[in-house]
Amino acid sequence: MEATLPVVECFHSLQGEGAHAGRSAYFIRLASCKVGCSWCDTKESWNSAVHLQQNLIDLSLNTTKAQQEGAAFVVITGGEPLHHNLNQLCKEIRKSTLDQENSSIPIHLETSGVDPLSGHPDWITLSPKRHFPPRSDVLFSCQELKVVINNEEDLYFAERMANQTNINAMPQPQLFLQAGWNNKEGQSLAFKHVKNNSHWRLSMQTHKWLGVL
């Protein structure tokens, strides 16, 4: 079990994307990613060797502080967080944020789904990549599917991915298309596809539009 993890940054902000957009959240951005997306906006996270290893207890105590300051949930993101086993980190966060009613802060995971699940997150946002598709078990477990659209092939991929989510789950997984940042073709395709297909919603990167973290 990992007692430390390489961390790029931690910060308290608003969730900018997807089903929980606009809500107060504490972000833990773990280092390491081998998925290699050309459009990645966190390339500095790829090489874990250049980032500090942080103690899991310190990470959980910082999460508790953010919870006391208004964070509604913690988001474990990356990089690709599932390159690491998250069991111990999630256990420490749950222990540290436990309240008198015996509930702890909800743990959200943002992943591309290429590695086995760990940590039993309360909410999984799966952002699958066409050049490195996700594991079918992670796809089936997600509460939220968010597909970045840069071209028409991405739309076909998005529909294929949506068909493999657990549509019998209650509630059903929420399906989002998100245009690649500054990509006019992606913006137009995502907008039209959502307009013509009621099972999809448009995800806006509100933090980027507002120019905040």
Site residues (vs ligand SF4, CB under 6 A): 33, 35-37, 40, 42, 45, 78-80, 112, 129
- 69 CB-contact burial (10 Å; exposed 0-12 / middle 13-18 / buried 19+): exposed
- Residue 134: asked if its preceding bond is cis (omega within 30°), the reply is no
Say how far residue 205 (Cα) sits from the centre of its chain: 13
| Residue 31 vs 105, nearer CB to ligand SF4 | 31
Q: Are 155 and 189 in contact (CB under 8 A)?
A: yes
Shortest distance, CB of residue 196 to ligand SF4, whole angstroms?
A: 27
| Residue 105 vs 190, nearer CB to ligand SF4 | 190
Q: Are 178 and 205 in contact (CB under 8 A)?
A: yes
| Residue 151 vs 197, nearer CB to ligand SF4 | 151
| Residue 38 vs 100, nearer CB to ligand SF4 | 38
- What is the spatial distance between Cα 127 and Cα 139, in angstroms, rounded to a whole number? 9
Residue 168, C-beta contacts closer than 8 angstroms, at least 6 positions apart:
none
Shortest distance, CB of residue 191 to ligand SF4, whole angstroms?
A: 22
Shortest distance, CB of residue 69 to ligand SF4, whole angstroms?
A: 27
Shortest distance, CB of residue 42 to ligand SF4, whole angstroms?
A: 5
